[in-house]
Structure formats: C-alpha cells, structure tokens
Amino acid sequence: MNIKPVREPVYQPSEYQVSIAEPEISEEDAVKISKNYVVTKNITTVEYEIKVRGEIETRELKIIPKQSEINIRGVELVYVPIWDLEYESGERNFVRRFVASSGRPIEDSFAKCEKCALIKRQPAAVCEICGTLVCEKHAINDGQKWVCQEFLFTSSKKEYIWDIW
C-alpha cells in the first residue's frame, strides 16, 4: 500500500462545512473486530482419505485459526471523507450519506418511492404537502408544486381530483 498519510489541517471552503468525527469504537474493539474478520475469512475445509475396514473413506476436517495465532502489528485511525446531505420537506427530514471518494451510499433515506408496493423505484420528487417520496409514476406537477396522488388538485378550483386514477 503506497498510501501516505496526510497530517495537515483540513481545508474548509465556504460552500460546505467540514468536521472531523471522533472514533466510534476503541482500539481494542477494532483489534477484536479485525481478528474475528481474519478468523472468518481463513476457515478452511480440508478433505482427506482414510482406510476404514479395508475401504477408503473421504472425510472432512475444518481448520479454524485461533485468535491467539493472529498478530495485529498496529492500529491507525483513518479519516475517510464522507458527504452528509440533509433534506427537509414539510415535516420530514431526509439524510443521504456517501463515501466521498467512490460515491458509494452508506445511508440513504431518499432511495425508494414510498408509494410503490412491490417495485421500489427511485424517487423523482418529494410531495410538497406531505413530504412523501414519490417516483415518476406517482409524482404530479400541478403547475405550481410537486405533489403525490393523494394531494393532487387543480390550482384554479383547489378541489381534489380522484377520478383520473
């Protein structure tokens, strides 16, 4: 690994806030988690043959490393850039958290349409009345705002339209 640590202060532009998080687990817990991972990844099943009463039988032996056989040479705290995005719509708050370098989602409360029963589609809008996440099928722009089917109304009459569904 040719990654060199950077020990400089983090640059903070005015467009967003940068904060350095405190570790959520202790070094001892990190070592335990690492050792458990190494044990799990290195469990091996070996087949061997043995002669029993004149016949050859195939048997299996599961080899499980002991935690005492695993040495962790050092523990380093690594700061990984994460994007925390917060949205607010009506009475609801949504959070999206991504690994900044890869864009991989960690947490995404804005990931699925809340109106789709079986197929969870990507949301296209948030209902500006109730705050529900809706996909293109369930989102309607009434000319003034994006709403879900339950709150679709004409801007002139302000009446609910149910007959189109």
Could you give the CA distance from residue 63 to residue 153 in angstroms, rounded to a whole number? 67
Reference 129, options 147, 113, 143, 144; nearest CA is 147
pTM of the model: 0.45
Could you give the CA distance from residue 26 to residue 77 in angstroms, rounded to a whole number? 10
Q: Report pLDDT digits (tens) over 10-33.
A: 666 677 677 777 888 888 999 999
C-alpha torsion angle, residues 127, 132, 133, 136 (rounded to 10): -50
Neighbours of 147 (CB within 10 A): 22
pLDDT band, residue 63 (cuts 50/70/90) = very high
Q: Residue 129 pLDDT more than 60?
A: yes
- Side-chain half-sphere CA neighbours of 163 within 13 A: 2
- CA 77, distance to chain mean position in Å, is 21
3-state secondary structure of 68: helix
pLDDT band, residue 95 (cuts 50/70/90) = confident
Q: Report pLDDT digits (tens) over 37-52.
A: 999 999 999 999 999 9
pLDDT band, residue 137 (cuts 50/70/90) = confident
Q: Residue 78 pLDDT more than 90?
A: no
Average pLDDT over all residues of the chain: 77
- Where in the chain are the domains? 27-69, 79-109, 112-165
More confident residue, 135 or 31: 31
